[in-house]
Amino acid sequence: MKRLIILIFILSFKIFPLDLDGVRSIKHWELLQEHGVKVEWSNHHEYPISKAEVTLDHNIKDIALIIENLENYPKIFKRVTETHRLGEDIVQIVLDLPFPFAGRDYVIQYVKHTFEDNLWVFSFSSINHPKEIKKVGHVRLPNASGIWILNPLSPNRTKVTYAWNGELLGNFPDIGLTRAWITQGTEVLTWLNESMSSKAQ
């Protein structure tokens, strides 16, 4: 009976989508980059979770509007080449990786919620969908998940936290993962800030 309970416990992490809503409760992070965009990683339910943080001189509502507009991602995040809306809260996202690595894609369902302490949270996790497009030459990320957390520090200053499952699968070597996490976290938050700054001009 004890073995059965343990087996069900382990399988539950593999069968159900990885949920990062509890990322703020992770206590132990390994620092990868401190200056500019802060990047860390940790193990969470047997997955490598990466986290990037930066404070932007922009209003929380303006940042939230950009994050929740997934169709516009190819214009903001330069590694996103395509987005396809498959349902009201379901989107397929296609990514380009540097040569010689194949691109990646994933289908996610997202949830938006605001907590009483004024945090704005946008979380997503992988699902299967009958309308998903099979991308030739791309590696599907079946465990893709992530979360955006916006914390207003003042009317025009917001702490932005972005955490995601750092799996890359396919032909990507494990030895290069920490470098990839630093690059991804830095690029995503830098491009977000650039988009906000261009709109403010």
In contact, 102 and 170? CB cutoff 8 Å: yes
Give me the domains of the chain, ranges plus CATH numbers: 33-200 (3.30.530.20)
Give me the pLDDT at residue 7, please: 39
Looking at every residue in the chain, the average pLDDT score rounds to 89
The average pLDDT across 27-36 equals 95
> How many degrees, rounded to 5, is the angle at CA 33 between CA 194 and CA 24?
85
pLDDT at 201: 58
What percent of the chain is modeled with pLDDT above 90? Answer: 75
pLDDT at position 198: 83
Find the helix or strand (DSSP H, E) in which 194 lies: helix 177-200
Q: Is the pLDDT of residue 27 over 70?
A: yes
Q: Does the pLDDT at position 191 exceed 60?
A: yes
Confidence of residue 8 (pLDDT cuts 50, 70, 90): very low
| pLDDT above 60 for 166 | yes
CA-closest candidate to residue 118, choices 81, 145, 150: 150
pLDDT(163) > 90: yes
pLDDT the model gives residue 200: 63
Between 14 and 121, residue with greater pLDDT: 121
pTM of the model: 0.89
